[in-house]
């Protein structure tokens, strides 16, 4: 049975072109057995008619603090909800929610509820990247609000970029995960690494890789939701998931120092970071000048953090490695699993469309040291994180 079955969900629809996708979100949740109450802002009516939602949802659409059957609709809806979702969440709604400016029924209900809240931002790239929007999202994340980040792709007006509302499948999956999340990692300390290390060539140039850190952050967020105490060692500047302690690093050596400090007390270590294999033997103190010709860069191996963790792994500790490959996926993954004394390896073919570095989606195969395997076909990185942590719980017994 779906975790949505029998649950009361308030779906807020704000005024953006992506409001049409909320129709499909509503339909899917009703089909899964949820009781869905829809709140539309006044501007949302310009994109989708309320009759559409009234026909598909579980009750008549709610639109105003003053024209509802209840004298206090925001309180009634907020108290009855098991979950609130805002899709699309516009810049205005995010700002109002973050600052408590409850001038309409949707924001008043968001403030009146104690249920979990998922916001699904959608707006043009320039708006999505504006510091005020990102600051408001950081505030909401810190308060425990779940954010389903927008996707990159074709936008209204014909151009492309970040800001497109996440797919209905991803939004419903997030709702299912939030309502179905078991607190099965209570009392555990989980260490996660994320991002790609940067090894200096000179004062301004580095050797780096394409890792965005999104998969590691998804693992950290889901582990925290499942009750774990989470330490995230990161090289990227992404707002921290709610309840997660972040240690910022840049180089492989710095990451090793941070990991070695935390790992001895961790019950689970997930090395999702893409650690550089090589670094310059000597970095120039200043900026190298093009007029001086191409420099000779001599490389040396960086410390193998994962192998070191495998050598020092204590009984009961679960060690998870990642293998980003472009060929011979299974052979390379199983070799890493054995050679580095891992309990689990998560492998993906980063040459495949939509997989791995920089994408919001991933497709992986998880191999366990017991010989078990699990495949996750192209899905959100959150879905991959859920599958990974399910396997961790399985290994711990």
| φ, ψ for residue 45, nearest 5 deg | -60, -20
d(CA 274, CA 260): 17
Q: Which of 136, 209, 332, 362 is catalytic?
A: 209
Angstrom CA distances, 242 to 136, 211, 303, 361, stand at 14, 22, 31, 21
Closest CA to 359 of 388, 379, 342, 341: 379
Residue indicated by tokens 């994340």: 141
Closest CA to 342 of 322, 372, 328: 322
What SS3 class is residue 152?
strand
Q: Beta strands 299-301 and 244-248: pairing type? A: unpaired
Closest CA to 121 of 82, 162, 80: 162
Strand ranges, E, within 106-227: 117-121, 146-147, 151-154, 160-164, 189-194, 199-200, 206-207
d(CA 301, CA 278): 4
The stretches of 152-195 forming alpha helices (DSSP H) are 168-180
The H or E element that residue 388 is part of is helix 381-396
The question of whether 332 is a catalytic residue gets the answer no
The 3-class SS string of 339-393 reads: HCCCCEEEEEECCCCCCCCCCCEEEEEEEECCCCEEEEEEEEHHHHHHHHHHHHH
Going by the DSSP 8-state scheme, the letter that residue 277 receives in this structure is S
d(CA 364, CA 219): 14
Residues 87 and 10: beta-carbon distance below 8 Å: no
Residues 119 and 86: beta-carbon distance below 8 Å: yes
Closest CA to 232 of 277, 270, 276: 270
d(CA 122, CA 139): 18
d(CA 273, CA 167): 27
Q: Where in the sequence numbering do the catalytic residues fall?
A: 209
């Amino acid at each position: 049975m779906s975790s949505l079955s029998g649950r009361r969900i308030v779906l807020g629809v704000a005024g953006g072109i992506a409001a049409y996708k909320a129709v499909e979100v509503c339909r899917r949740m009703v089909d899964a057995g949820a009781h869905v109450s829809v709140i539309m802002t006044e501007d949302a009516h310009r994109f989708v008619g309320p009759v559409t939602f009234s026909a598909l949802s579980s009750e008549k659409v709610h639109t105003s603090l003053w024209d509802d059957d209840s004298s206090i609709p925001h309180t009634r809806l907020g108290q009855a909800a098991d979950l609130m979702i805002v899709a699309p969440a516009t810049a205005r709604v995010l700002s109002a929610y973050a600052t408590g400016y409850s001038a309409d029924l949707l924001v008043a209900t968001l403030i009146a509820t104690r249920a979990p809240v998922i916001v699904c931002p959608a707006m043009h790239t320039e708006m999505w990247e504006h510091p005020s929007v990102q600051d408001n999202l950081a505030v909401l994340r810190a308060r425990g609000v779940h954010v389903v980040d927008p996707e990159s792709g074709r936008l209204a007006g014909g151009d492309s970029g970040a800001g497109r509302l996440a797919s209905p499948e991803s939004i419903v999956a997030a709702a299912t995960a939030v309502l179905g999340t078991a607190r099965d990692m209570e009392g555990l300390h989980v260490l996660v690494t994320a991002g790609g290390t940067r090894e200096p060539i000179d004062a301004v140039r580095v050797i780096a890789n394409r890792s965005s850190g999104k998969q590691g952050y998804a693992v950290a967020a889901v582990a925290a939701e499942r009750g774990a105490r989470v330490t995230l060692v990161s090289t990227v500047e992404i707002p921290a998931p709610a309840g997660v302690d972040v240690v910022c690093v840049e180089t492989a050596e710095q990451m090793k120092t941070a990991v070695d400090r935390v790992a001895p007390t961790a019950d689970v270590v997930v090395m999702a970071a893409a650690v550089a294999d090589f670094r310059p033997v000597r970095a120039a103190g200043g900026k190298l000048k093009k007029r001086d010709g191409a420099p000779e860069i001599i490389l040396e191996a960086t410390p193998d953090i994962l192998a070191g963790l495998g050598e020092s792994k204590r009984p009961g500790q679960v060690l998870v490695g990642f293998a980003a490959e472009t060929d011979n996926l299974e052979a390379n993954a199983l070799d890493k699993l054995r050679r580095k004394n891992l309990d689990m390896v998560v492998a993906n073919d980063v040459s495949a469309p939509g997989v791995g570095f920089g994408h919001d989606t991933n497709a992986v195969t998880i191999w366990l040291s017991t010989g078990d395997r699990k495949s996750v076909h192209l899905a959100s990185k959150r879905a991959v994180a859920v599958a990974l942590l399910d396997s961790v719980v399985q290994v711990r017994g």
